[in-house]
Amino acid sequence: DAGVIQSPRHEVTEMGQEVTLRCKPISGHDYLFWYRQTMMRGLELLIYFNNNVPIDDSGMPEDRFSAKMPNASFSTLKIQPSEPRDSAVYFCASRKREAQYFGPGTRLTVL
């Protein structure tokens, strides 16, 4: 099994630009999660999907953030426009039974 796949692994952009992070969950997992990790705030849940449907987006910080899951094998997290305070590591995870499996993360730097 390839595990959760995220791309890109690193992204450096300038303030105001649009950023799109991508995630491919593990096949057969029906839950998908987006997290953000910073030194100050630790690991925060942003949004999660069940069977491609967004269930809880209460962790999304602002309207600048949006997430989609057009099919069971692909999800995106978009930030538009990006700001320096969005700099963080963004993790995607998928769940089966009682374990969440995390991807390697995307390290985002907004200048």
Question: Which residue ranges make up the site for other proteins (CB under 8 A)?
Answer: 4, 31, 33, 42-43, 45, 48, 50, 55-56, 91, 93, 95, 97-105
What is the DSSP secondary structure assignment for residue 80, as one 8-state letter? S
CB 55 to other proteins: min, Å: 7
CB 90 to other proteins: min, Å: 10
Which tokens go with 68? 């989609």
Among 76, 91, 84, CA closest to 21: 76
Q: Which residue shows structure tokens 């993360």?
A: 105
Residue closer to other proteins (CB basis): 10 or 83: 10
